[in-house]
Homo-oligomer: A and B are copies of this chain.
């Protein structure tokens, strides 16, 4: 009788911490969800994480062979060292040695990657990559920011120091673009994230020329990108124009990516991707105009929304140990 392998995956987020046990044939055997105790510091969070890893390990190691532990973390994460570098979503973790802390407790090497790369791996092996039968893709996660991950021939391309795939910081509006948290301006993230949508709406409201958005703000001062999308779907021209800018920004960024990477598949995930119907036309207009590689390969270059939902991070972490060995 042969023993199946299992892996343990960790999805470390700024709000939630999820730990799962996984086998290729059965999928997720179990998932533990905890709050990320950011206020108690990185050591406390790693203690919670490692306790959950031990629990899953003890529960499943009599049935299955532990093939590895995979961890997805917010970035910037310097690899292979596994040290966080001023991570905006993990305040107080600058220079924290995440790999050393986890490996010290687990007593074995772990596979570590930034969360956007991990989600891209899951989408490639279990989501759209599987549906389109391709082994390479670039994923853009349109959330609070814009994360990205590149999978080339089934493996994460993480570059020299683990920081590849930062497509949110492609230059789009080189002059006159909105300020980006990275210190530049006009980045894709500044215009195609939920934060960017809210900021563009605030600018319109401040100009006093967008009555629908002004009413939204009066009713709900902490409105978010979804509220702007609802307004656009109800026909408000100013809200629609904001998603026009989102689409143009994505099309210009994708044009650069298609010209440089020539991949078969680009996947848009994250909450803002739900507004696909509001931004896809200007996206393809810019892409066709600005990428002759796209025009030459449009029949086999696919731009689609993601298939996996919020589980992508946990599933990708569970897949990490096997991609590292392949």
Interface of A with B (CB < 8 Å)? 76, 78, 85, 136, 148, 150, 152, 157-167, 169-176, 182-184, 187, 252, 255-257, 259-264, 289-293, 295-297, 300-301
CA A85 to CA B296, docked complex, whole Å: 8
A293 touches B166 (CB 8 A): yes
B262 touches A169 (CB 8 A): no
B296 touches A260 (CB 8 A): no
A160 touches B136 (CB 8 A): yes
A169 touches B259 (CB 8 A): yes
CA A292 to CA B185, docked complex, whole Å: 12
Interface of A is mostly: loop
6 pairs of A and B residues whose beta carbons are closest in the complex: A159-B262, A164-B262, A184-B290, A166-B259, A169-B259, A182-B292
CA A33 to CA B262, docked complex, whole Å: 33
A152 touches B163 (CB 8 A): no
List 22 A-B residue pairs with CB atoms under 8 Å apart, sorted by A's residue number: A76-B292, A76-B293, A76-B296, A85-B296, A152-B157, A160-B262, A160-B300, A160-B301, A161-B262, A161-B297, A161-B300, A163-B262, A163-B296, A166-B260, A167-B259, A170-B256, A172-B174, A173-B175, A182-B292, A183-B289, A184-B289, A260-B261
How far apart are A178's CB and chain B's nearest CB, in angstroms? Answer: 13
B260 touches A165 (CB 8 A): yes
Smallest CB gap from A160: residue in B: B264
12 further interface pairs, Cβ-Cβ under 8 Å (given A165-B260, A166-B259, A171-B255)? A76-B292, A159-B263, A160-B264, A160-B297, A162-B262, A163-B296, A163-B297, A164-B260, A169-B256, A170-B259, A182-B292, A183-B289
Known: A163-B297, A170-B256, A171-B172. A262 touches B182 (CB 8 A): no
A257 touches B255 (CB 8 A): no
CA A241 to CA B286, docked complex, whole Å: 30
Residue among A159, A166, A172, A259 with most chain B CB within 10 A: A259
Residue among A161, A162, A167, A176 with most chain B CB within 10 A: A161
B260 touches A260 (CB 8 A): yes
B171 touches A261 (CB 8 A): no
B292 touches A169 (CB 8 A): yes
Residue among A184, A263, A289, A301 with most chain B CB within 10 A: A184
CA A152 to CA B152, docked complex, whole Å: 10
CA A295 to CA B174, docked complex, whole Å: 19
A169 touches B293 (CB 8 A): yes
For residue A297, which residues in chain B have a CB less than 8 angstroms away from its CB? Answer: 160-161, 163
CA A214 to CA B76, docked complex, whole Å: 49
CA A164 to CA B182, docked complex, whole Å: 27
CA A160 to CA B153, docked complex, whole Å: 10
B172 touches A175 (CB 8 A): no
CA A292 to CA B136, docked complex, whole Å: 26
How far apart are A238's CB and chain B's nearest CB, in angstroms? Answer: 21
How far apart are A181's CB and chain B's nearest CB, in angstroms? Answer: 9
